[in-house]
Amino acid sequence: MAASIDFDRVEVSLGGRTVLHELTLQLSERRIGILGANSSGKSTLVRCINGLARPRSGTVRVHGHDVGRETAKVRRLVGFLFSDADQQIIMPTVAEDLAFSLRGRPRAEIDAAVEASLQRWGLTDHADHPCHLLSGGQKQVLALAAILLTEPAVLIADEPTNLLDLRNVRRLAATLAALDQQQVVVTHTPELLADFDRVLVLEAGRVVCDADPAAAIAYYDALMR
């Protein structure tokens, strides 16, 4: 089955306005960045990949699976990291939140996976820590760790560094770079995309530039003047 994300003439309307216009794209590179002005349709585009946004017409497929028809299957393939980790931290403590990702599996399997995840992400000393007392950077790491426990093939991150200081921006960038998963990252921080494989620039619901990072970042910079 094709290991790509395919948009076929996708049109999305929200509140009576066309937010994405007849978008046809094949995303098969490992790391894809998305830049664009506020309201240009970036979040809507990535939300189509896991069915959070629904096209009025056209089809989105993830590894050959139609997002509209096989939403549950696609959501098992696609992890989604929001800019505000509070939106996706569900349980009271760090270990419980990680365990929640694996709910339904045998207890011993969950415990072993949570233990390994705590170690991988430097959270072992915070296992019983109330999530709401974590710093912004720690919350973002926890949200990412919880997503990765589900072993998604694709990771979507929508403005993941918005609430982070520069140190944590750099940490998150290094963390993302080291992951095996295909990644689609929306950001207002072009430097985050410097070593990506491909960068799209959106403007008013259309892809106006689709290039390597240097060319796309220069295009975006000129567009924002």
Binding site for ligand ATP (CB under 6 A): 14-15, 19, 36, 38-44
CB of 121 to ligand ATP, least distance (A): 27
Nearer to ligand ATP, 4 or 162 (CB): 162
Q: Report the alpha-carbon angle 209-59-192, nearest 5.
A: 35
What are the E-state strand segments in 85-159? 154-158
DSSP state of 214: H
Nearer to ligand ATP, 47 or 139 (CB): 47
Nearer to ligand ATP, 15 or 104 (CB): 15
Beta pairing class for 182-186 and 198-203: unpaired
Question: What is the distance between the alpha carbons of residues 183 and 7, in angstroms, rounded to a whole number?
Answer: 16
CB of 33 to ligand ATP, least distance (A): 13
Reduced to 3 states (helix: H, G, I; strand: E, B; else coil), residue 51 is: coil
Nearer to ligand ATP, 73 or 206 (CB): 206
CB of 43 to ligand ATP, least distance (A): 3
CB of 5 to ligand ATP, least distance (A): 17
Amino acid present at 1 = M
CB of 143 to ligand ATP, least distance (A): 18
Nearer to ligand ATP, 23 or 146 (CB): 23
Question: What is the distance between the alpha carbons of residues 207 and 134, in angstroms, rounded to a whole number?
Answer: 37
Dihedral (C-alpha) 149, 89, 112, 76: value to the nearest 10 degrees? Answer: -30
